[in-house]
Protein backbone atom coordinates (compact mmCIF):
# COMPACT_ATOMS: atom_id res chain seq x y z
CA UNK A 1 0.00 0.00 0.00
CA UNK A 2 2.87 2.37 0.90
CA UNK A 3 4.41 1.71 -2.51
CA UNK A 4 1.13 2.63 -4.22
CA UNK A 5 1.00 5.95 -2.33
CA UNK A 6 4.57 6.73 -3.33
CA UNK A 7 3.88 5.96 -6.98
CA UNK A 8 0.70 8.08 -6.89
CA UNK A 9 2.60 10.98 -5.34
CA UNK A 10 5.33 10.73 -7.98
CA UNK A 11 2.69 10.67 -10.71
CA UNK A 12 0.97 13.81 -9.36
CA UNK A 13 4.27 15.66 -9.02
CA UNK A 14 5.28 14.62 -12.53
CA UNK A 15 1.92 15.71 -13.95
CA UNK A 16 2.14 19.11 -12.24
CA UNK A 17 5.67 19.60 -13.48
CA UNK A 18 4.76 18.67 -17.05
CA UNK A 19 2.00 21.31 -17.03
CA UNK A 20 4.42 24.12 -16.09
CA UNK A 21 5.05 26.27 -19.13
CA UNK A 22 8.47 27.64 -19.97
CA UNK A 23 9.04 31.35 -20.63
CA UNK A 24 9.35 30.72 -24.37
CA UNK A 25 6.14 28.67 -24.44
CA UNK A 26 4.27 31.47 -22.65
CA UNK A 27 5.59 34.09 -25.06
CA UNK A 28 4.66 31.91 -28.03
CA UNK A 29 1.12 31.69 -26.67
CA UNK A 30 1.11 35.48 -26.36
CA UNK A 31 2.23 35.77 -29.99
CA UNK A 32 -0.54 33.40 -31.09
CA UNK A 33 -3.10 35.30 -29.01
CA UNK A 34 -2.40 38.61 -30.78
CA UNK A 35 -2.53 37.19 -34.28
CA UNK A 36 0.36 34.76 -34.78
CA UNK A 37 3.92 34.95 -36.03
CA UNK A 38 3.01 35.21 -39.72
CA UNK A 39 0.81 38.24 -39.05
CA UNK A 40 3.50 39.95 -36.98
CA UNK A 41 6.07 39.40 -39.72
CA UNK A 42 3.93 41.48 -42.07
CA UNK A 43 4.34 44.61 -39.95
CA UNK A 44 6.79 47.15 -41.36
CA UNK A 45 5.11 50.22 -39.91
CA UNK A 46 2.50 50.62 -37.21
CA UNK A 47 0.74 53.75 -36.04
CA UNK A 48 -2.11 54.61 -33.74
CA UNK A 49 -4.29 57.64 -33.18
CA UNK A 50 -6.62 58.26 -30.29
CA UNK A 51 -7.55 60.31 -27.27
CA UNK A 52 -5.95 60.65 -23.87
CA UNK A 53 -6.89 61.97 -20.45
CA UNK A 54 -3.90 63.30 -18.51
CA UNK A 55 -3.89 63.78 -14.74
CA UNK A 56 -7.59 62.93 -14.75
CA UNK A 57 -8.81 66.14 -16.40
CA UNK A 58 -6.67 67.30 -19.35
CA UNK A 59 -7.81 65.85 -22.68
CA UNK A 60 -5.49 65.47 -25.65
CA UNK A 61 -5.07 63.84 -29.04
CA UNK A 62 -2.37 61.19 -29.37
CA UNK A 63 -0.41 60.02 -32.39
CA UNK A 64 2.22 57.30 -32.23
CA UNK A 65 4.33 55.76 -35.00
CA UNK A 66 6.98 53.03 -35.34
CA UNK A 67 8.87 52.13 -38.51
CA UNK A 68 10.88 48.90 -38.77
CA UNK A 69 12.24 49.80 -42.22
CA UNK A 70 13.49 53.33 -41.51
CA UNK A 71 14.16 52.36 -37.87
CA UNK A 72 12.53 55.38 -36.29
CA UNK A 73 9.63 56.26 -34.02
CA UNK A 74 7.79 59.35 -32.87
CA UNK A 75 4.83 60.43 -30.79
CA UNK A 76 2.69 63.54 -30.49
CA UNK A 77 0.40 64.50 -27.61
CA UNK A 78 -1.53 67.73 -28.17
CA UNK A 79 -4.34 69.40 -26.33
CA UNK A 80 -5.33 72.51 -24.40
CA UNK A 81 -2.16 73.80 -22.74
CA UNK A 82 -0.03 70.85 -23.82
CA UNK A 83 2.11 70.08 -26.85
CA UNK A 84 4.56 67.21 -26.49
CA UNK A 85 6.54 65.61 -29.30
CA UNK A 86 9.44 63.18 -29.44
CA UNK A 87 11.44 61.52 -32.17
CA UNK A 88 14.06 58.76 -32.04
CA UNK A 89 16.07 56.82 -34.60
CA UNK A 90 19.24 54.72 -34.41
CA UNK A 91 21.54 57.76 -34.34
CA UNK A 92 19.78 60.21 -32.02
CA UNK A 93 16.57 61.91 -31.10
CA UNK A 94 14.87 64.79 -29.33
CA UNK A 95 12.01 65.71 -27.01
CA UNK A 96 9.89 68.86 -27.29
CA UNK A 97 7.60 70.10 -24.51
CA UNK A 98 5.46 73.15 -25.34
CA UNK A 99 8.10 74.36 -27.78
CA UNK A 100 11.15 73.72 -25.58
CA UNK A 101 13.30 71.22 -27.45
CA UNK A 102 15.99 69.00 -25.90
CA UNK A 103 18.27 66.60 -27.77
CA UNK A 104 18.77 63.10 -26.42
CA UNK A 105 22.11 62.72 -24.64
CA UNK A 106 24.55 60.24 -26.25
CA UNK A 107 24.60 58.07 -23.11
CA UNK A 108 20.85 57.53 -23.46
CA UNK A 109 21.11 56.05 -26.93
CA UNK A 110 21.96 52.46 -25.90
CA UNK A 111 18.51 52.09 -24.35
CA UNK A 112 16.73 54.02 -27.09
CA UNK A 113 18.32 51.99 -29.89
CA UNK A 114 16.77 48.83 -28.44
CA UNK A 115 13.39 50.57 -28.19
CA UNK A 116 13.57 51.76 -31.82
CA UNK A 117 14.86 48.48 -33.26
CA UNK A 118 12.47 46.21 -31.36
CA UNK A 119 9.39 48.42 -31.53
CA UNK A 120 6.33 47.34 -29.60
CA UNK A 121 5.84 44.21 -31.71
CA UNK A 122 8.67 43.98 -34.29
CA UNK A 123 10.90 41.86 -32.05
CA UNK A 124 8.22 39.22 -31.56
CA UNK A 125 8.42 38.32 -35.25
CA UNK A 126 12.14 37.50 -35.02
CA UNK A 127 13.17 36.82 -31.44
CA UNK A 128 16.22 34.78 -32.38
CA UNK A 129 17.47 37.25 -34.97
CA UNK A 130 17.15 40.16 -32.56
CA UNK A 131 18.84 38.25 -29.74
CA UNK A 132 15.75 38.13 -27.54
CA UNK A 133 15.90 35.85 -24.50
CA UNK A 134 13.15 35.27 -21.96
CA UNK A 135 13.04 34.17 -18.33
CA UNK A 136 10.04 33.20 -16.22
CA UNK A 137 10.32 35.15 -12.95
CA UNK A 138 7.15 33.77 -11.38
CA UNK A 139 3.50 34.73 -11.21
CA UNK A 140 1.73 37.87 -9.98
CA UNK A 141 -1.79 39.26 -9.92
CA UNK A 142 -2.16 42.41 -12.05
CA UNK A 143 -5.41 44.36 -11.93
CA UNK A 144 -7.15 41.28 -10.59
CA UNK A 145 -5.73 38.96 -13.26
CA UNK A 146 -3.36 36.04 -12.62
CA UNK A 147 -0.29 36.63 -14.77
CA UNK A 148 3.04 35.12 -15.70
CA UNK A 149 5.95 37.48 -15.06
CA UNK A 150 8.41 37.28 -17.97
CA UNK A 151 11.75 39.07 -18.22
CA UNK A 152 12.98 39.96 -21.72
CA UNK A 153 16.58 40.73 -22.65
CA UNK A 154 17.98 42.01 -25.95
CA UNK A 155 21.46 40.65 -26.73
CA UNK A 156 22.17 40.36 -23.02
CA UNK A 157 20.78 43.79 -22.09
CA UNK A 158 17.64 44.05 -19.96
CA UNK A 159 14.70 45.06 -22.16
CA UNK A 160 11.54 44.87 -20.06
CA UNK A 161 9.34 42.73 -17.82
CA UNK A 162 5.95 41.70 -19.18
CA UNK A 163 2.96 40.36 -17.28
CA UNK A 164 1.05 37.92 -19.48
CA UNK A 165 -2.49 36.95 -18.51
CA UNK A 166 -2.66 33.23 -17.71
CA UNK A 167 -6.09 32.91 -19.32
CA UNK A 168 -6.03 35.16 -22.40
CA UNK A 169 -2.22 35.25 -22.83
CA UNK A 170 -2.38 38.98 -23.58
CA UNK A 171 0.34 41.23 -22.14
CA UNK A 172 -1.58 43.29 -19.60
CA UNK A 173 1.41 45.19 -18.19
CA UNK A 174 4.91 46.08 -19.41
CA UNK A 175 7.56 47.49 -17.08
CA UNK A 176 10.77 48.99 -18.40
CA UNK A 177 13.47 51.46 -17.44
CA UNK A 178 13.66 54.66 -19.48
CA UNK A 179 16.86 56.03 -20.98
CA UNK A 180 16.99 58.38 -17.97
CA UNK A 181 16.69 55.52 -15.50
CA UNK A 182 13.02 55.98 -14.57
CA UNK A 183 10.55 53.13 -14.18
CA UNK A 184 7.91 53.08 -16.92
CA UNK A 185 4.70 51.11 -16.35
CA UNK A 186 2.27 50.56 -19.23
CA UNK A 187 -1.06 48.83 -18.65
CA UNK A 188 -2.86 47.33 -21.66
CA UNK A 189 -6.49 46.25 -21.88
CA UNK A 190 -9.50 46.06 -24.21
CA UNK A 191 -7.75 43.86 -26.78
CA UNK A 192 -9.62 43.82 -30.08
CA UNK A 193 -9.05 42.78 -33.68
CA UNK A 194 -7.57 45.51 -35.85
CA UNK A 195 -9.85 45.93 -38.90
CA UNK A 196 -8.38 44.53 -42.11
CA UNK A 197 -5.88 42.35 -40.25
CA UNK A 198 -5.76 39.34 -37.96
CA UNK A 199 -3.92 41.31 -35.29
CA UNK A 200 -5.50 41.67 -31.86
CA UNK A 201 -4.10 44.71 -30.08
CA UNK A 202 -4.96 46.79 -26.98
CA UNK A 203 -7.35 49.72 -27.43
CA UNK A 204 -6.85 50.98 -23.88
CA UNK A 205 -3.30 51.96 -22.89
CA UNK A 206 -2.28 53.61 -19.63
CA UNK A 207 1.17 55.04 -19.01
CA UNK A 208 1.65 56.95 -15.78
CA UNK A 209 -0.82 59.87 -15.62
CA UNK A 210 -1.87 59.32 -19.24
CA UNK A 211 -4.89 57.13 -19.96
CA UNK A 212 -5.24 56.58 -23.68
CA UNK A 213 -7.99 55.16 -25.86
CA UNK A 214 -7.02 54.06 -29.35
CA UNK A 215 -9.39 55.14 -32.10
CA UNK A 216 -7.48 53.54 -34.97
CA UNK A 217 -4.43 51.43 -35.74
CA UNK A 218 -2.85 51.57 -39.18
CA UNK A 219 -0.48 48.89 -40.46
CA UNK A 220 2.11 49.45 -43.19
CA UNK A 221 1.21 53.07 -43.88
CA UNK A 222 4.62 54.83 -44.02
CA UNK A 223 4.79 58.36 -42.61
CA UNK A 224 7.46 61.02 -43.05
CA UNK A 225 8.45 62.33 -39.59
CA UNK A 226 9.68 65.63 -41.07
CA UNK A 227 6.23 66.32 -42.49
CA UNK A 228 4.29 65.14 -39.45
CA UNK A 229 6.51 66.74 -36.79
CA UNK A 230 7.25 69.94 -38.66
CA UNK A 231 10.20 72.15 -37.78
CA UNK A 232 10.36 70.76 -34.22
What is the three-state SS of 135-202?
A: EEEEEEEECCEEEEEEEEEECCEEEEEEEEECCCCCEEEEEEECCCCCEEEEEEEEEEECCCCCCEEE
- In degrees and rounded to multiples of 5, residue 150 shows phi and psi of -115, 130
pLDDT tops 90 at residue 137: yes
Which burial class, exposed, middle or buried, applies to 59 when counting CB atoms under 10 A from its CB (0-12, 13-18, 19+)? Answer: exposed
Residue 7 domain-assigned (yes or no):
no
Q: Give percent above pLDDT 90 in the chain.
A: 84
Q: Tell me the three state secondary structure of residue 127.
A: coil
Q: Report whether 132 contacts 109 (CB < 8 A).
A: no
Confidence of residue 57 (pLDDT cuts 50, 70, 90): confident
pLDDT in tens, 38-54: 999 999 999 999 999 99
CA 133/CA 21 separation, integer angstroms: 15
Q: Among candidates 135, 133, 131, 159, which has minimal Cα distance to 149?
A: 135
6 within some domain:
no
Beta-carbon contacts of 125 under 8 Å, excluding residues fewer than 6 positions away, are 37, 40, 41, 43
pTM as predicted: 0.89
Give long-range contacts, CB 8 A cutoff, 24+ apart: 132-137. 132/159, 134/23, 134/24, 134/26, 134/27, 135/23, 136/21, 136/22, 136/23, 136/26, 137/161
2 in a domain, yes or no?
no
User: Residue 11: what pLDDT?
Assistant: 45
Number of independent structural domains in the chain: 1
Query: Is 53 part of any domain?
Result: yes
Q: Which range marks the domain in which residue 201 is found?
A: 22-229
Q: What is the enclosing helix (H) or strand (E) of 118?
A: helix 109-118
The CATH number assigned to the domain holding 203 equals 2.50.20
Name the least confident of 5-19, 53-67, 207-221: 5-19
Q: Determine, yes or no, domain membership for 13.
A: no
Residue 89, in any domain of the structure: yes
Nearest to 152 by CA among 164, 143, 140, 141: 164
Q: Please indicate, yes or no, if residue 16 is contained in any of the structural domains.
A: no
Q: Residue 41 has what DSSP assignment?
A: H
Each residue's pLDDT tens digit, 155-206: 999 999 999 999 999 999 999 999 889 999 999 999 999 999 999 999 999 9
Q: Which of 132, 126, 178 is nearest to 154 (CA)?
A: 132
The predicted pLDDT at position 131 comes to: 96
In a domain, 10, yes or no: no
Amino acid sequence: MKKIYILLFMFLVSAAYSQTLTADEIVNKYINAIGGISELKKINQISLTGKAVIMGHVTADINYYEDAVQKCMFSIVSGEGISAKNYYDMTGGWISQNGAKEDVAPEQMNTLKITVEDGTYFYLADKEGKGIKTELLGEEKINGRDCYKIKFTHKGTDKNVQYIDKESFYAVRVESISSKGNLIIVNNSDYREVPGTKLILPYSIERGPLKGTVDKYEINVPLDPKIILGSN
